[in-house]
Structure 1
Amino acid sequence: MSFSHHDSSIREDTWVQAGVLDLPVVPDGTVTEGGSIIVLAAHPDDEALGAAALLSRADEWNCQVTVLLFSAGENSHPDSPTHSREQLKSMRIKEFDRALSTLSEAHSSRFLALPDGQLPEYTDQIQDAIRQEITRSLGPVTLIAPYSQDGHCDHEAVGASALDVGRSSHAVVLEYPIWFWHWAAPTDPRWHSWKVLPDPRDLDRKALLACYQSQTRPLSDHCGDEAILTSAHLEHFARGRDTFVITNFRSGSTDTGEDGKGLAINDACTASTVFDDVHQTRTDPWTVWESKYEIAKRETLVTHLPSRSFSHILEIGCSVGALTRDLVDCGTKVTAVDASCEALKTAQRLQLRVPTKVEFVHATVPFTWPEGHFDCVVLSETGFYLTRSQLQRTLERIDGSTPSRFVLVLCHWKGEIRDWPLNADEVHDVCLSHWTRYRTEFHTDAEYRLDIVTVDKDAEAQPERATR
């Protein structure tokens, strides 16, 4: 995503009309009482824009709060004729200290002094700093970070690091969007699954943001000293609430099936270990190469694809590569991902035909994602291993790596799924509600459910859902 703060910001009233004020509240228990909150900021003012309500409410949860500031934002005005980078660095650090004191005198902070605009090059240092802070923390940890798909390289580097460390540390991660509201359109489906945290009565956002005059007001009347945060952009942060993308890596996630019966034992966080164990015991756990049911299912899926000449197919959850082999004949390239290293070893060993057309990638979706732009995405027998929030994040990943029109293939067994969050219908219904405009190419619903749809992100017509 490429944007400039000079671009016209998406009008706040368009977001309001789209329903941004109607998002559900962050569920109780998301932040554990008596635990620790670690707020990550790429630049001074990130914490004030994205997490002001949370920082103001921390005392309600009796939480220890630390803010990690990774850069001083010294490149905010690269063409300023009146302020050097060192002057801006000093100014912005003082603004940060003043703003944090406005929120609470009890919150502590640590400045990492990494170079502004270059944080993607310092991922290891960022992750090490987060891990060190977690080690010092008391009780369960909640990480608060910029949105990992915010469109700003520094925000995305810090957000992605929070997800990586949160996953390995079994923490809850709350991502806050900042520039997303500036460049994204309300038709973007990602925000519909987000949650909000209302401001406490004593939070004065205007007074808080007034601490950051270097960003909200011109440095001078000279060209190059213009305000970074325009009044139109600041309107997005006058809603009286924080907005978060929530990913829960703690064991015992609260995601349940639609019937609300109990907690799922496993999800994407445990998938790698579970399926490595399964494939170490048996190289073909589901007899996909020999089962008449599996063979017929694959034939039905491939036969009803609307094209045999895709440029790049993404297969999520390839296991031992049976469907992968069939997909090779349907496109120029296939990227096949799986959470299990053991399954991929088998897949690579058995993939004898045109191996150059297939790239096997070890990745646990949605936490890691393969490179590429895909005009066909296949999610087969994998969606029920994800919690609802993990599935929503997967759909966001798909949306960000596909063109305006692409084919989505969903195929899942209809039997009872034990110890995992979702069933076939839940997976398909969540996926098909993510995009409002699509055409159904094929649908069948027997022992397994198969939906093949062409998603048209730019279409103005209402979805056509006729079945063939």
Structure 2
Amino acid sequence: MQAGALDLPAVPESTIATGGTIIVLAAHPDDEALGAAALLARADEWSCQLKVLLFSAGEKSHPESPTYTGDQLKSIRLEEFDRALSTFDKAHSSRFLDLPDGQLPEYSSQIRDVIRHEIARSHGPVTLVAPYSRDGHCDHEAVGAAALDIGRSHHAVVLEYPIWFWHWAAPTDPRWQAWRILADPQGLDRNALLACYPSQTEALSDQHGDEAILTSAHLEHFIRSHDTFVFTDFRSGAASPSSGQEGIGSRINDASTASAVFDDVHRERSDPWTVWDSEYEIAKRETLVSHLPSTSFSHILEIGCSVGALTRELAAYSVRVTAVDASCEALKTAKRLQTTTATEIAFLHATVPYEWPEGHFDCVVLSETGFYLTRAQLQRTLERIDESTPSRFVLVLCHWKGDIEDWPLTADEVHDACLDYWPRLRTDFRSEAEYRLDIVTVDKTDDFLRAEAVE
């Protein structure tokens, strides 16, 4: 991110209210040092009460380590966390919540409750500092999304700090261009601070599985003389324009908010996308089901069924269909319009990937839903699919190619990520027009070779 990242404007002077409380949230030990070192070092400037909440010990940082167990890594990382915080002169309180590393999205309600509790025990205006809610790591995103949710309801300032974003994002990504920076105070030694975390910056041993997590190239983003923040000001009850080009909606809408968003949409109109009557929607469904490689699946999973139009079509191709959606209002319509069929159809309320239906599925359909997920949420969805499918199954991806406002991903980003997840697959059908449709057979066995795409 050398293409102007060093020239971003400063965080406005009025961002942090004097005499208030700064609550720094960290998904793992070292998040706070990587993302909010300048802020931690400058807390005295605002005469603020400073609190640091650590949600997991990051014990899964080296899952294949031959030299350390998860419990040993937990102890090491917590010691490093305490050592790093002790380098700051500002008096602070810290609290460790002991949630499981890699599973924070499943504890989103608890994370929100903890933040609310800390705000209730704080004095003055509150500033929430959290990992970026679009960071590409499920734990970072869970904490960031919680901060935004609580920040909005409590009319607080929220500062999100990117960590893994710097690793995967391209210099041309427009999001960082609207962010703000907070300069280091005199005397802050970032190299010394990061040296408090040798389990992350250095190899644990010379054995495979003990490699350093933070490479020198990645660390370059954190030894600069400032923090970088996404700045959202909820103090007036609405996001400040300085939130940036992505807009407040595009940063807070994802799987964690989908239920509320789509309940509102379906309350306004029972069929908001006119899927039952639209010639486009009808033709799209006909194309999808006519190119399924089988007419006799045992159990189809449809992720994001909305009012059940595609569900009805899929029922002709399977003994069972489980259709899930985040919107209770959409499911009410789907159940009301359900017709009698020999196929067993179950409409379930579930927010993917946090909730997942029981069953073993030989066909999974992800239609017009993937772009509502962040990268980390999509990755977790693919893991869930992999866990609940046999060695060979059919994956159906179908998404509109137009611009999707206020949501994380595009059709191509969704499809490419899904198709890259499994190394061995055969393309049964692919089409790109107004929408992109990919139907593939995934084989998890070793004797299956990727086939050429069929247009």
Same fold flag (TM > 0.5) = yes
Aligned to 1:432: 415
Q: How does 1:39-438 map to 2 (within 5 A)?
A: 39-41=24-26, 46-47=29-30, 50-58=31-39, 66-69=51-54, 96-102=81-87, 104-106=88-90, 108-112=92-96, 126-134=111-119, 136=122, 138=125, 141-144=128-131, 160=142, 163-164=145-146, 166-167=148-149, 169-170=151-152, 207-208=192-193, 211=196, 232-233=211-212, 236=215, 239-241=219-221, 254=244, 267-268=253-254, 272-310=259-297, 313-331=300-318, 333-351=320-338, 352-353=340-341, 356-363=344-351, 368-371=354-357, 376-382=363-369, 386=372, 390-403=373-386, 407-412=395-400, 420-421=405-406, 427-434=410-417, 437=420
**Distance apart, 1:411 and its partner CA:** 3.4
DSSP-derived class of the 1:402 partner? helix
In the TM superposition, what is the alpha-carbon distance from 1:430 to its structure 2 partner? 2.2
Q: CA deviation at 1:100?
A: 0.9
Name the SS for the 2:113 alignment partner: helix
Residue 394 of structure 1 deviates from its aligned partner by: 4.3
Instruction: Tell me if the contact between 1:328 and 1:334 (Cα under 8 Å) persists in the aligned partners.
Output: yes
Q: Does structure 1 retain, via aligned residues, the 8 Å contact 2:141–2:376?
A: no
Distance 1:449 1:325, change over 3 A: same
Q: What residue in structure 2 maps to residue 182 of structure 1?
A: none
Offset from partner CA, 1:382-419 (integer Å, 9 cap, x none) = 466x4xxx4534432333223397524213275x87xx
Q: How does 1:28-47 map to 2 (within 5 A)?
A: 34-35=15-16, 38-41=23-26, 46-47=29-30
Structure 1 counterpart of 2:438: 452
- In 2, distance between residues paired with 1:264 and 1:149? 15
State the one-letter code of the partner of 1:412. W
Whichever residue aligns with residue 328 of structure 2, its letter is C
Determine if contact 2:370/2:414 at 8 Å carries over to the other structure. Answer: no
Distance 1:289 1:132, change over 3 A: same
Equivalent pairs: percent with the same residue?
35
TM-score between the two structures when normalised by the length of structure 2 = 0.60
Amino acid at match of 2:37: S
Q: Which whole-Å deviations, capped at 9, do the CAs of 1:184-221 have from their partners, x for residues lacking one?
A: xx9xxx8889989999797656644655689999xxxx
Deviations 1:96-115 (A, max 9, x none): 4432132x222623225759
Tell me if structure 1 keeps the 8 A contact 2:320–2:343. Answer: no
Q: Is 1:30–1:172's contact at 8 Å kept on the other side of the alignment?
A: no
- CA distance, structure 2, for counterparts of residue 359 and residue 298 of structure 1: 19
Give the secondary-structure state (helix, strand or coil) at the position aligned to 2:398: strand
What's the CA shift for 1:303? 0.8
Q: Shift of residue 322 of structure 1?
A: 1.1
Kindly indicate whether the alpha-carbon contact (under 8 Å) linking 1:141 and 1:172 is maintained by their aligned counterparts in 2.
yes
What's the CA shift string for 1:302-342, capped at 9, x where partnerless?
A: 11123345565443432211111222333455443333221
* Structure 1 residues 198 and 411: CA distance shift in structure 2, 3 A: same
Secondary structure of the corresponding residue to residue 385 of structure 2? coil
Q: Is the 8 A contact 1:66 1:109 kept in 2?
A: yes
SS at match of 2:219: coil
Which of 340-349 and 453-462 deviates more? 453-462
SS at 2:36 equivalent:
helix
SS at structure 2 position matched to 1:106: coil
1:67 CA displacement:
1.3
Output the CA distance in 1 between the equivalents of 2:9 and 2:362. 39
- Asked if 2 retains the 8 angstrom alpha-carbon contact of 1:215 and 1:228, the reply is no
Whichever residue aligns with residue 108 of structure 1, its letter is H
Superposed CA offset, 1:344-380 (max 9, x none): 11112333436754242242x67x4435676644343
Q: TM-score, normalised by structure 1?
A: 0.59
Number of residue equivalences? 395
Distance 2:396 2:12 in 1: 38
Over 3 Å counting, the alpha-carbon distance change for 1:298 and 1:408 in structure 2 is: closer
Specify whether residues 38 and 24 from structure 1 end up closer, same or farther in structure 2 by C-alpha distance, changes over 3 A only. farther
The letter of the residue matching 2:131 is I
- The CA deviation string for residues 403-449 of structure 1, in whole angstroms up to 9 with x for no partner, is 397524213275x87xx3479xx83222234357573613142xx42
* Structure 1 counterpart of 2:66: none
Change (3 A) 1:212 1:164: closer
- Segments of 5+ residues of structure 2 without an aligned counterpart are 62-70, 153-157, 387-391
Q: Do the aligned residues in 2 keep the contact of 1:147 with 1:176 (CA within 8 Å)?
A: no
